[in-house]
Amino acid sequence: MTTTLQPLSTDEQFVALAADIGRRAAEHEPEHDRDATFVAEAYDAMRETGYLGLAVPADLGGLGASWRQVVLAQHELARWSGSASLASAMHHYLTLVHRYRHHRGAPDAGATLRRIAGEGIVLATSGGSDWVSPTTTAVEVDGGYLFTGRKSFCSQAPGATVLATSAVLGEPGPGAEVLHAGVPFSSPGVSLVDTWDTLGMRGTASQDVVLDDVFVPAERVVGRRPYGELTGPLLVAVLHFAPVIAGVYLGVAQGAYDEALRLTASKTAPAAGAARQLGEMQSRLRVARWGVLGALEEVGEYPEAGPVALRTVLVAKRHAVLEAVAVTDLALQVAGGAAFYRRSPLERAYRDVRGGPFHPTPPEATLVEVGEAALAEARR
């Protein structure tokens, strides 16, 4: 069924929409966290409101959010439900990638964007397990390729329609070529294995996806790059991924701050130092948010996909995920023993923010990349 969405325009409208979905998701967050089950109710709300078409341009049937507005909306959603925000962030950043490709004239991107907005298809990714050197293999056959392999960390797998993935053509190693393609979950040979029993973000259902001689038509290959290199379609993906993910984890930390503030304000005599700790949390959150939004302003809506823009957003993402951990730690200190109970949203936030540093690229790898680039420039 095809639907028509009413575009939004202001930051406030997008944030209000995310808050509405977040409130509905929050009702089910404890059970999904306890049982490591998918945040299906949140996705029902996203479909009802058109939120899955958040980043689709208005002229293609979507809500017409800018890159910045996607980050703001996901930040707000994460205040209520970290899992719903992180899971849907994978869909939204891939939508931004297709929007970028459409802007650059890719002939297939417009149709995908229209399907996202009109049909509500959901895009998932295996990028977290593939990175620059995927182990999945591609064998060329008549009309396309056969993909075989196993992908881990595939967030929202039970609710997704298409998997954005990659495979190596030929023997993995230097000189090999990596194909990037979209694989429908309904394709013969695709199956899910529920391995998701983790510390945090348990409602994302980031299960394993197994590909067993899955036929991928040649026209579904959207890009190619050399094996082992962060270039081409993977660079474009990481470029759009980093700010959205940064917004998610800052949103979880913002929710933790809000809860710590609520608990402290309810006390007649708050603990000594609580006001200062609240001030520190708010300061850390504001500076980290300025960093993410400033990075987006610096690179622009449709940046040149190269190392300079990539380093800009990765530095902001690094700062955001580390500050999210620091703020949430402080929130537990302010709240005291009440936060130690599983029923406390602070206990869940404490675990959820631990996922931030694992997303590409890790904080230390980001510093190495930035430092090596600076040295290379100085030696010219």
Domain CATH code at residue 80: 1.10.540.10
Give the domain range for residue 242. Answer: 232-378
Query: 98-145, pLDDT tens digit by residue?
Result: 999 999 999 999 999 999 999 999 999 997 778 999 999 999 999 999
pTM for the model stands at: 0.96
Helix or strand or coil: residue 113?
Answer: helix
Q: Which uninterrupted H or E stretch holds 283?
A: helix 274-299
How many Cα atoms occupy the beta-carbon half-sphere of 79 within 13 Å?
Answer: 19
Residue in 315, 255, 326 with CA at minimum distance from that of residue 291: 315
Say if strands 162-169 and 144-154 run parallel, antiparallel, or are unpaired. unpaired
Which DSSP string do the residues of 193-222 spell out, in sequence order?
E-----SS-GGG--EEEEEEEEEEEGGGEE
Residue 370: predicted pLDDT: 98
Residue 238 sits in a domain whose CATH number is 1.20.140.10
Mean pLDDT for the stretch of residues 16-36: 98
Last residue of a domain, one of 121, 137, 154: 121
257 with 374, same domain: the answer is: yes
198 with 271, same domain: the answer is: no
Q: Is residue 188 part of a domain?
A: yes
- Check pLDDT > 80 for residue 4: no
Q: Is residue 337 part of a domain?
A: yes
What would the two tokens of residue 24 be?
Answer: 């509905």
184 with 149, same domain: the answer is: yes
Q: Are 227 and 177 in contact, with CB atoms under 8 Å apart?
A: yes
Query: 300-336, pLDDT tens digit by residue?
Result: 999 999 999 999 999 999 999 999 999 999 999 999 9
% of the chain with per-residue pLDDT over 90: 94
Per the structure, the count of domains in the chain is: 3
Last residue of a domain, one of 197, 226, 255: 226
Q: Is residue 6 part of a domain?
A: no
237 with 372, same domain: the answer is: yes
DSSP state of 340: G
How many Cα atoms occupy the beta-carbon half-sphere of 177 within 13 Å?
Answer: 9
Provide the b/e sequence for 235-274 (b: ≥16 CB within 10 Å): bbbbbbbbbbbbbbbbbbbbbbbebbbebbeeeeebeeeb
More confident residue, 272 or 340: 340
257 with 372, same domain: the answer is: yes
Q: Is residue 354 part of a domain?
A: yes
Residue 2: predicted pLDDT: 56
181 with 304, same domain: the answer is: no
241 with 373, same domain: the answer is: yes
359 with 259, same domain: the answer is: yes
Residues 209 and 177: their CA atoms lie apart, in Å, by 22
Mean pLDDT for the stretch of residues 131-160: 96
% of the chain with per-residue pLDDT over 70: 99
Q: How far is CA 19 from CA 123, 256, 355, in A?
A: 22, 16, 22
372 with 241, same domain: the answer is: yes
116 with 26, same domain: the answer is: yes
Mean pLDDT for the stretch of residues 203-220: 98
Give the pLDDT band of residue 5 (cuts 50, 70, 90): confident
259 with 152, same domain: the answer is: no
Last residue of a domain, one of 96, 121, 146: 121
What would the two tokens of residue 323 be?
Answer: 């500050």
Q: Are 174 and 145 in contact, with CB atoms under 8 Å apart?
A: no
Q: Are 354 and 200 in contact, with CB atoms under 8 Å apart?
A: yes
Residue 184: predicted pLDDT: 98
175 with 264, same domain: the answer is: no
Residues 6+ apart with CB under 8 A from 259: 331, 335, 344, 345, 346, 349
